[in-house]
Structure 1
């Protein structure tokens, strides 16, 4: 109902804009098409969110299909379980399973619907056209600006990785000037516990320095085959009020790994549950998170207030 004040009529303020996100990486095992597998359950749950228009975006955090994925593997194995979420998918490529020059270089073709038998383009490819595996890009979701980076660059082309660092600096600076809240997505985590297979991605430190410079609010990565959330952390591993909250969500369906170290900046973690992360991003920079278990009982629920 309109309210009259001093002869002027005004409508109630619109509710704050919210953006709903689902995110996960390390999705489907070699030759797996089983709907009741951890991968199948996650794919079905996120597909349902897409079909019911309950999320604005699905962030794919890399390692879509194991082990060496060519066009036919994405179409034959990943697509039956996860393809229903592709229309809202924003993706990054990881080393080894998504992209290794001369070995497997077809994830970008699959995301652009260029593989025989594929059934549509990812969301970002619908918007931008073909994107090669290592190409950085960014996207605004409401009042949030999200940059997407390929960790594979640090393994396969360090000059391109450093060029991406300069791109990130300019991209985040422009978005911050426009009043956006900042997030960054990349596959290999910097703020993480060790496993028997991986430690932190030390070579990503230039990206972390840029992220801290511009006060990125949150980051998303995968790779470790477990779940972690950091304290708000700076580029010196210190928990600080204006640091970035780093989520590592590699629980898409691949076999899980236990932790072998216990860094102080990790606030919550588990390695016994498959599932995915739900985020609600608000225009004032606050956000909620909830880990949704699909095979297991681990969970994580919380809220970070708007920056002061």
Structure 2
């Protein structure tokens, strides 16, 4: 039994760039994702959507997350063809989108014509060592919430971000918080999602990590509202609890640098090149292994794992995630 546990732990350690035999560590797995919604309309797509597209092009992200309301006013096939495609259409091969309320006005005809049927489906995609779960709130919110729960559970060994259009919390003057999305927010926080992304209010806002009730929590989920994609920017109204940063006035996009250990950093940039907000979040802490529940043949390995984890290079992107998996292997009866 000890040999099989040792081999299993060694295999997982090797996959994370660590080894019981002192093999070299793998390089960190991380990349950048761009995110914005509320993008292109007939009266401002040249100054708005075209400018944010140039900004994103210069950053060359691994993935572009289009956060809904991509073409105004009704998300028709012609509106996508005339306003969205000439600007953000260049990112089609690496775009993942969710529909907004304006796409829903045309029965999603435009968004599916431009980005395919999957753009309106609940689905999960992998990027930067993370699982990004995208849901369509306009089909069925409870169904979307159930999908978040199921997909996050099926990928519980990687960090999670969740995307839908109308933010649960928002200080925007036009729409503000959307109480009807609470089932999705509750599902995301229960699943341990690190980030939730939305648009809808045409502004940028960052919230502190929060729990399912919207209370500040160091271990909670951080919400970003990224609605400066280019169309009709709007102001703020009543500031909501736990709102940390608000910005409006110029089109822009949010850039997230995601790391496989669950840490991330963010930068909200406007089309004039100004960074309006930036910061970082460390990887989630893990509970210490409980030797009382560990299989006897694994206790010595747990001690060695802990020692090697402490010595592992800081750039080992999978370190925290893999140690959690190793702990589970060692403590499962």
TM-score of the pair, normalised by structure 1: 0.81
Cα distance, 1:10 vs structure 2: 6.3
Number of residue-to-residue matches in the alignment:
266
1:256 aligns with 233
Report the CA distance shift for 1:11/1:169 in structure 2 as closer, same or farther (over 3 A): closer
Choose from 34, 52, 65 the match for 1:42: 52
1:9-55 deviations in Å (ceiling 9; x for gaps): 96631221002101110111225552xx0221101222344xxxx32
1:141 aligns with 127
2:264 aligns with 287
Q: Secondary structure at the match of 2:51?
A: helix
Separation in structure 2 between the aligned mates of residue 296 and residue 270 of structure 1, nearest angstrom = 15
> 1:273–1:296: 8 Å Cα contact kept in structure 2?
no
Matches within 5 A, 1:1-308: 12-30=24-42, 32=44, 34=46, 37-49=47-59, 54-95=60-101, 97-100=102-105, 105-112=109-116, 130-131=117-118, 133=120, 135-153=121-139, 160-176=140-156, 179-195=157-173, 197-295=174-272, 297=274, 299-308=276-285
- Which has the larger Rg? 2
Separation in structure 2 between the aligned mates of residue 243 and residue 10 of structure 1, nearest angstrom = 35
Q: Secondary structure at the match of 2:271?
A: strand
Separation in structure 1 between the aligned mates of residue 231 and residue 148 of structure 2, nearest angstrom = 30
1:150-189 deviations in Å (ceiling 9; x for gaps): 2323xxxxxx32222222211111111xx11111001100
Report the CA distance shift for 1:33/1:188 in structure 2 as closer, same or farther (over 3 A): closer
Cα distance, 1:205 vs structure 2: 0.5
1:64-119 deviations in Å (ceiling 9; x for gaps): 11112321221122111111111110000011x212265x633112213xxxxxxx
Higher helix share: 2
Could you list the structure 1 runs, at least 4 aligned residues long, displaced by more than 2 angstroms after superposition. Answer: 9-12, 30-34, 130-133, 295-298
Structure 1 vs Structure 2 CA RMSD? 2.0
TM-score of the pair, normalised by structure 2: 0.75
Unaligned runs of 5+ in 1: 1-8, 113-129, 154-159
Separation in structure 1 between the aligned mates of residue 132 and residue 238 of structure 2, nearest angstrom = 30
Separation in structure 2 between the aligned mates of residue 48 and residue 142 of structure 1, nearest angstrom = 19
Separation in structure 2 between the aligned mates of residue 107 and residue 30 of structure 1, nearest angstrom = 16
After the TM superposition, which of the residue ranges 209-218 and 25-34 deviates more from structure 2?
Answer: 25-34
